[in-house]
Amino acid sequence: MYLALVAAALLWGSLYPAAKPAVAATGAIQVTFCRVLLACLCLSSLVLLRSGPHLLVQQWRAHWRAIVVLGLLTFASSQILAMLALDYLPASVNGLLNNTHPLWVAVGAATFAPPRRPGLLVLGSGLALLGVGLVLLPNLVAEAGASGPRLSLLGVALSLGGSGVIALGTLIGRRILPGGDPLAIGALTSGAAVVPMAALTLALGGFGPIVQAPGDVVLLLVYVGVGCTALNNWLWYYGLKHLPAAAASAFQYLIPPSSVVFAALFLHEPLSLALVLGTVCVLVGLVATQLAASGGRAADARLRPVRRAGAG
């Protein structure tokens, strides 16, 4: 189960380096549509093989309003923002910023219930924000250089906005989907996003860029939809069945540094000192905020129904 959680985190981390060339070739909306459609097909197939159609029907009847809302948030809006940000940011920076959502979840939860360790929450939040500043500020004030392009304020806003949408979807999911089956919910929420994403794709460039994409881009689209969206959710669900949610959630902290490493390895993005130090600060800050907001078994139970299906 530990290997499943590590693999899920690494697949999520590889999303941004894998999606960046696909976005450049086909468009952010087109890549998002492929992710949503492939995730729906794969996750639905897994549920049908495991439990048959009755589970999907039961979950839809019980939670259809929440499923539609979460589909539009986690499988449409957050993905669109994350993919659009790739037009303006290096994949490493986008992967780091887009995965700050545990910080926003912890801060948001603290507004409704006092955290167990408020000082640790403040310290963790400050470290995470310091890390974001270390990553962004040197690049925002510098002109483009030989080592890479300057960061874009629009890209930063898109990536952090996507992170905020993920956090909102997580908080909503914890409150309105107690006891829901994670895999079935993932299949249904992705399905709820297929039609609006198809309409948006048709209106903004159409399906031609997908159909006419070269073979290597098609492989990236399949990898992003199947590996980085469907397979990682299944692996996460498998790991969550065998470990407490609080223990399993620790593996999500592999996502930001793995995004940075994969971008350096496969896209040859530079590993600047500011990026490395910022990543470490963000990582430590996220861990601290989660520890501050953790509430024992009750909190662990609230974490179990919804993770981040399709987000990012």
Q: What does the domain layout of the chain look like in residue ranges?
A: 2-303
CB-CB contact of 106 with 114 (8 Å): no
Q: What is the pLDDT of residue 298?
A: 41
Which tokens is 174 given? 């914890």
DSSP conformation class of 145: B
Mean pLDDT by 10 residues, the chain (312 residues): 86 95 97 96 94 93 90 93 94 92 78 75 83 74 48 88 89 70 89 96 96 96 95 83 67 87 93 87 84 55 46 64
Q: What is the pLDDT of residue 168?
A: 87
User: Positive or negative CA dihedral for 73, 74, 76, 80?
Assistant: positive
Q: What is the pLDDT of residue 254?
A: 86
CB-CB contact of 224 with 31 (8 Å): yes
Q: What is the pLDDT of residue 55?
A: 93
State in Å, rounded, how far the first CA of the chain is from the last one: 23
Q: What is the pLDDT of residue 234?
A: 86
Q: What is the pLDDT of residue 171?
A: 77
Which DSSP helix (H) or strand (E) runs through 103?
helix 101-112
Region label for 143, one of left (φ > 0), alpha (ψ between -120 and 50) or beta (otherwise): beta
Give the residue from 162, 166, 165 showing the smallest Cα distance to 154: 162
Q: What is the pLDDT of residue 33?
A: 97
